[in-house]
Amino acid sequence: MRRLLPLLMLLALAPAWAAHITDRLAVGLYDAPELKGKPQRLLTTGTPLEVLERKGEAVRVRLGDGSSGWVEARYVTEEKPAAAALLEARAEIRRLKERLAASGEGKAAPRPLPSAEQARLGLELGRARARIAELEEKLAELSRLQDAQAELERLRATQAQIRRLLGVSEAEAAGRTPPAGPWRSPWTWLGLIAALAAGAGLGAWWMQQRVRRRFGGLRI
């Protein structure tokens, strides 16, 4: 008995160590180390507690409110459960963000607001870019109109050549009167020539009017 007395005194003087309930929904807190009967209460995951002694597969713990009891030793750990650690980490990140927002640390310096002159120049630059796009579109249209005008000039040259050929026919050159017929009548040829000339003139006028409306009086 005398030999056991010093050991019991050391156990009584040994400091308790802090612990937590592991990742389990709830653990029963019992009156006796046998862990039988109805538990006093249920301890949820992350509940801080103080381990007082260990007996077999049970440990006696003391809670923050001063109450004590026995729980299964395998559900007690010195490390914080993952769920509790995650919550604390998120809370720490939130706290740091609030501090950074309050102190202004970690944020890029705000860009200065543009002056009135810079704003005016920006607007003018935007208008200039829009004008360039408009002019490029008009130049593309002008190129197409110039191609059409060149084709019209070739048609006019062809008509002039036809008129020259019709001006002196083979019958007139031989001194013979061409036989009567709808296509041999001079009035028919004159009407055809007049129609061709009127069509060419109307086409040229229409092309010039389109170019003037498109480019503000520009003549090709």
Express each pLDDT in 1-24 by its tens digit: 444 444 444 444 445 556 656 555
* Domain assignments of the chain as residue spans, ordered by start: 4-82, 135-168+183-220
- Per-residue pLDDT, 58: 94
Overall size of the chain counted in residues: 220
Task: State the Cα–Cα distance between residues 59 and 32, nearest whole angstrom.
Answer: 10
What pLDDT shows up at residue 183?
47
CATH code reported for the domain at 4-82 = 2.30.30.40
pLDDT per position as a tens digit, 102-142: 655 545 555 565 567 666 666 766 666 666 666 667 667 76
Report which secondary-structure segment, H or E, holds 204.
helix 186-215
Question: Strands 41-44 and 68-72, how do they pair?
Answer: unpaired
Q: How far apart are CA 130 and CA 124, in angstroms?
A: 10
Give this prediction's pTM.
0.34
**Of 117, 95, 97, 116, which is closest to residue 107 (Cα–Cα)?**
97
List, for the chain, all residue ranges whose pLDDT scores fall below the cut of 50: 1-14, 106, 168-171, 173-174, 176, 178, 180-181, 183, 218, 220
